[in-house]
Amino acid sequence: MQLEFLMPFVTTDDGTEIYFKDWGPRDAQPIVFHHGWPLSSDDWDAQMLYFLGKGFRVVASDRRGHGRSSQTGVGHDMDHYASDVDAVVRHLDLRNAIHVGHSTGGGQVARYVAKYGQPQGRVAKAVLVAAVPPLMLQTPDNPEGTPLEVFDGFREALLANRADFFQAVACGPFYGFNRPGAKVSEPTVANWWRQGMMGSALAHYEGIKAFSETDQTEDLKAITVPVLVLQGDDDQVVPYKAAAVKQAELLADATLKIYEGYPHGMLTTHAEVLNPDILAFIQQ
């Protein structure tokens, strides 16, 4: 039993092993971090160390097929993502938790909070950062969304050469390094690429459909806990008018903040700004 407690994995009902980090005092308020596609819990280093230093218990897991979790061939959809989070939360018995999600991780937060965390009374607040809900895909009812051809292009590039594709994303639109005058951080690009290549090509391929075509309108409507919505207006990955603005309209208790000129990966490029803003929201 002691060995089981020390192992940083939880096994889900379908046999998938989910890797997690759990740092800080066990009696402190937990903050649970949910990473974006195609990354891992390592993408939250700047936030986990910051909030650990503020006295919180910080937890983050690798999504199935990502990072150190099982490279399973099934379940690469938002329902399984949320169910896997529930398995980690119940394993650690986290209560009064703050759930913070970036990009696809924001969709994971919305589905988890609506379906599991809020009904179980385990969630205090949530934070959505450059998150994909309610729907990324452009449709007649969502003209601000991204055309299907763009996501088809993602799939084609991943099939052709995943390593090249991930390099192009990291040194281009993700951090805004393709903008005129941008100062490119090669270590940041390398870290993004490292995280992506740790995961499963299948999980990443099928995850494109999960993050782009999952309509989470009803998830957002169901959430009643306070939610902080953050996004940059120069987000080249998730259009902020189709995401943050609509999230704030659908949520029952939302605080919206749009950062001028910030990119999709602003949690890394502007951690010194976002971390205190998230802390202030938590402490309200």
Residue spans per domain, the chain: 2-283
Please report, rounded to a whole number, the percentage of residues in the chain having pLDDT higher than 90: 97
Q: Which CATH code of 3.40.50.1820, 3.40.630.10, 3.40.50.300, 3.40.640.10 fits the domain covering 2-283?
A: 3.40.50.1820
pLDDT for 3: 44
* CA 139 remoteness from chain centre: 23
Distance CA 11, CA 106 (A): 23
The yes-or-no verdict on residue 122 having pLDDT over 90 is yes
pLDDT for 1: 38
- Candidates 80, 99, 204, 264; catalytic one: 264
- Candidates 40, 69, 83, 103; catalytic one: 103
Number of other CB atoms surrounding residue 181 within 10 Å: 4
pLDDT for 227: 98
Distance CA 80, CA 108 (A): 9
Whole-structure pTM value = 0.96
pLDDT for 6: 58
Please report, rounded to a whole number, the percentage of residues in the chain having pLDDT higher than 70: 98
User: Would residue 235 show up in a list of annotated catalytic residues for this protein?
Assistant: yes
Number of other CB atoms surrounding residue 26 within 10 Å: 10
Q: Averaged over 88-101, what is the pLDDT?
A: 98
* Helix axis angle, 201-213 to 148-170, nearest 10°: 130
The per-residue pLDDT for range 227-268, each reduced to its tens digit, is: 999 999 999 999 999 999 999 999 999 999 999 999 999 999
- Candidates 43, 62, 77, 235; catalytic one: 235
User: Would residue 264 show up in a list of annotated catalytic residues for this protein?
Assistant: yes
User: Would residue 76 show up in a list of annotated catalytic residues for this protein?
Assistant: no
Q: Averaged over 87-99, what is the pLDDT?
A: 98
Distance CA 132, CA 151 (A): 13
Distance CA 188, CA 170 (A): 8
The yes-or-no verdict on residue 4 having pLDDT over 80 is no
Burial of 17 (0-12, 13-18, 19+ CB in 10 A): middle
- From residue 133, alpha-carbon distances to 106, 118, 186, 226 in Å are 7, 18, 30, 16
Model confidence at 99, pLDDT cuts 50, 70, 90, reads very high
Q: Averaged over 46-66, what is the pLDDT?
A: 98
pLDDT for 187: 98
**Average per-residue pLDDT for the chain:** 96
Min mean pLDDT across 3-17, 41-55, 264-278 is at 3-17
pLDDT for 2: 43
Distance CA 127, CA 33 (A): 9
Q: Averaged over 151-161, what is the pLDDT?
A: 98
With b for 16 or more beta-carbon neighbours within 10 A and e for fewer, the 51-74 pattern comes to bbeeebbbbbbbbbbbbbbbbbee
